[in-house]
Amino acid sequence: MDILNQEFIIVPYQSMGAIRFGMSRKDVEILFGKPQKEIKDTLERTELIYEDVSIK
């Protein structure tokens, strides 16, 4: 099953589905693969864009 098609259960301050707060970029890419797009803001924070999901 594709991870983007799963139901995302939100656990406040802990996780959203398989995405957990504090994950490294490497861990996110293991789950989702390479992002379709990457955006850096003025504070150098990175946002990874995957289809309908955006991860900061």
Q: Where are the beta strands (DSSP E) in the chain?
A: 10-11, 15-16, 19-20, 37-40, 46-50, 53-55
Q: Is the dihedral of CA 15, 32, 35, 33 positive or negative?
A: positive
pTM over 0.75: no
- Return the amino acid letter for 52: D
Among 54, 56, 55, 53, CA closest to 4? 53
pLDDT tens digits for 13-45? 999 888 899 999 999 999 889 999 999 999 999
Question: Has residue 5 got a pLDDT over 90?
Answer: no
CB count, 10 Å around CB of 10?
A: 10
- The pLDDT score that the predictor gives to residue 45 is 92
